[in-house]
Structure formats: structure tokens, C-alpha cells
Amino acid sequence: SQKIEQNSEALNIQEGKTATLTCNYTNYSPAYLQWYRQDPGRGPVFLLLIRENEKEKRKERLKVTFDTTLKQSLFHITASQPADSATYLCARPSSGSARQLTFGSGTQLTVLP
């Protein structure tokens, strides 16, 4: 099966610190990984996509890395704020279809003031 595993169901950090979320995948290396943010009662919102030939990608306070040797992606939020509190989802395309995304179960981040 094509699994996506995200570290710890919940992560609490202090405001101003850097949050680091982990996404590990099994089997084949996907062409890309995506990260989404989901707030309670809402649909996921796309944040970043990183391709297998990219080691790192940044967007404002967000940074994503992709290590095909470790089969892992790390998602960092620097200078975290309480407004960053949400569930963050990692996703990969299915081996059988680029149109099907397989999502991890998410990491619930709480930034404490």
C-alpha cells in the first residue's frame, strides 16, 4: 500500500518558535508532495507543493523539504503565531493515478501565546 504517515497527532509549541512537522511515505517515491492546512469544519487549503527534484521550497514563513533517500518531507513554520494553529496535511499522488491524492491523517498544531 502507499502509506503517508505524519508525526504525532498533536504538536504544541510556544509562539515565536519554529514548528516542524514530519511526513514519511512508503514504497515508490512520488513526483511531488503537497502540504495543506485545514481548520475545523473547513476544507483543506493548499499551501505548498515540492517536486522530487527540489530539495527545498519556501513561501513567506513556510519552508518544505523533500528527502527522497529518507522518504520524508519536513514542513517548517518559522516565527509561529497563534493564527497558525490548525491541522496540517501531507499528500502524495497515487502510483496508479496522478489525479488521486493520498493524504496523511494530519498533524494538529497548536501555537500557544
Partner 1 sequence: DTGVSQNPRHKITKRGQNVTFRCDPISEHNRLYWYRQTLGQGPEFLTYFQNEAQLEKSRLLSDRFSAERPKGSFSTLEIQRTEQGDSAMYLCASSHTGTEDEKLFFGSGTQLSVL
The binding site for partner 1 (CB under 8 A) comprises: 4, 9, 32, 34, 36, 41-46, 49, 89, 91, 93-94, 97-106
Task: Say which residue the cell 492546512 belongs to.
Answer: 37
Nearer to partner 1, 19 or 44 (CB): 44
Cell numbers at 27, concatenated: 514504497
Distance CA 23, CA 106 (A): 9
**Closer to partner 1 by Cβ: residue 36 or 66:** 36
* Residue closest to 45 by CA, chosen among 111, 109, 92, 91: 91
The nearest distance, CB 14 to partner 1, in angstroms, is 25
Nearest distance from C-beta of residue 17 to partner 1, angstroms: 25
DSSP string, 8-38: -SEEEEETTSPEEEEEEE-SSPPSEEEEEEE
What minimum distance in Å lies between the beta carbon of 67 and partner 1?
20
Residue 51 beta carbon to partner 1: minimum distance, rounded to whole angstroms? 9
3 exposure class (CB count in 10 Å sphere: 0-12, 13-18, 19+): exposed
Task: Specify the residue, 3 or 17, whose C-beta has the smaller distance to partner 1.
Answer: 3
